[in-house]
Copies of this chain bind each other. A is one copy, B any other.
Amino acid sequence: MLAIRPWSAYELTKQMRRSLGYCWPKAESVLYEEPKRLVALSLAAVTDEPVGNGSRTRAVYAITDAGRAELRRWLASEPAPPRFEFEPLLRLLYADAGRKADVLRAVGATQTWAREEMERGLEQLEDYRETGGPFPHRMHIIVLFGDLVARLLEAVAGWAVEAEDEITTWPRTSGLGMTAATAERLDGLIEHAHAVLARMDNGYGSAPGVPG
Contacts and interface: CB of A to CB of B under 8 A. Distances in A.
Given A75-B91, A82-B156, A196-B157, A96 B141 contact: yes
A178 B138 CA distance: 8
A72 B98 contact: yes
Interface residues of A, number: 102
State the number of copies, please. Answer: 2
Interface string A1-32: 00110000000000000011011110000000
Interface in A162-212: 162-163, 165-167, 170, 174-179, 181-182, 185-187, 189-190, 192-194, 196-197, 200, 204-205
Given A138-B177, A140-B176, A89 B146 contact: no
B106 A177 contact: no
Interface of A: 3-4, 19-20, 22-25, 68, 71-72, 75-76, 78-99, 102-103, 105-106, 109-111, 113, 115, 118-119, 121-122, 125-126, 128-129, 132, 136-141, 143-148, 150-152, 154-159, 161-163, 165-167, 170, 174-179, 181-182, 185-187, 189-190, 192-194, 196-197, 200, 204-205
